[in-house]
Amino acid sequence: MKATRLLLPFIHGVEMRILEYGVLMAKSHDATIVPLSFIYVPEKQWGKGTRLEHIQQSKDFLEAIRVIAARHNVPVERYEVETGDVVRSIEILTEQLACDGMILFVRGSDGVLLNTPEVALLIKQAACPLYLIRLPARRSRRLAQQLRDLLLHWFSDKSKQGEISEQTQLFPTGVVEQEEIISPDSASLLSSHQQGLD
């Protein structure tokens, strides 16, 4: 029986939690994860070589997937490709690597791991089933800072009026910032937001 293989394409933005979601998706399907890292090189720059930071980010992505997959006991096949056309390369390699599906991430209306236009094109014309994982929107640091300042100002005013206790005045300033990193656990995210398109 042929093993299931799920493609995880990447061009930028190594986020460990998201990579773990991808590996857990493969595990939930008893599949091999196939991380495919693209180093984008526009045609006019082929002679000039690739930027070092793009190469390093690609290496970081592939190594992170290797480590996470080993931790969860998920088989992995890693690939790195230089290209000037990411979407076309994904289409060709999905077929060549015999992938049974592709994992894509979005946050709001933005692509994650891939650029937004690439994700939109893949959703429109992918030749294999897509597993689209919608991530919760990231809270703005500026908004969190404004909320914290507002709360501290409010507590300060109430303290002057004698309406709050001494304990409340010791309200920790880091509480609002901690909320930024709270997100659903991977199991509930995968079960409630994955979508297979046949």
Give the CATH number of the domain where residue 9 resides. 3.40.50.620
Q: Cα–Cα distances in Å, from 147 out to 110, 144, 150, 175, 198?
A: 25, 5, 5, 11, 43
Shared domain for 44 and 95, answered yes or no, is yes
pLDDT tens string for the chain (198 positions)? 678 999 999 999 999 999 999 999 999 999 999 999 999 887 766 566 667 778 899 999 999 999 999 999 999 999 999 888 899 999 999 999 999 999 999 998 899 999 999 999 998 887 789 999 998 876 655 565 666 666 666 555 544 544 433 332 333 333 322 222 222 333 333 333 334 333
Residues 154 and 191 in one domain: no
C-alpha 33/C-alpha 6 separation (Å) is 5
Q: Does residue 97 sit in the same domain as residue 63?
A: yes
Contact 90, 97 (CB under 8 A): no
Q: Residue 102: its pLDDT value, please?
A: 95
pLDDT given for residue 27 in this prediction: 95
Distance CA 173, CA 148 (A): 7
Position 125 scores a pLDDT of 87
Structural domain span for residue 21: 4-136+184-197
Same domain, residue pair 34 and 84 = yes
* 3-state DSSP percent of the chain in helix, strand and coil, to 5: 50, 20, 30
Helix (H) or strand (E) holding 34: strand 31-40
Q: 36 and 108 share a domain?
A: yes
CA distance 17 to 126: 25
Please state, in angstroms and rounded to a whole number, the distance separating the CA atoms of residues 7 and 85. Answer: 17
Cα–Cα distance, 104 to 149 (Å, whole number):
37
> Are 190 and 166 found together in one domain?
no
49: left (phi over 0), alpha (psi -120 to 50) or beta: left
Radius of gyration in angstroms for the set of CA atoms belonging to the chain, rounded to a whole number: 21
Query: Do both 70 and 34 map to the same domain?
Result: yes
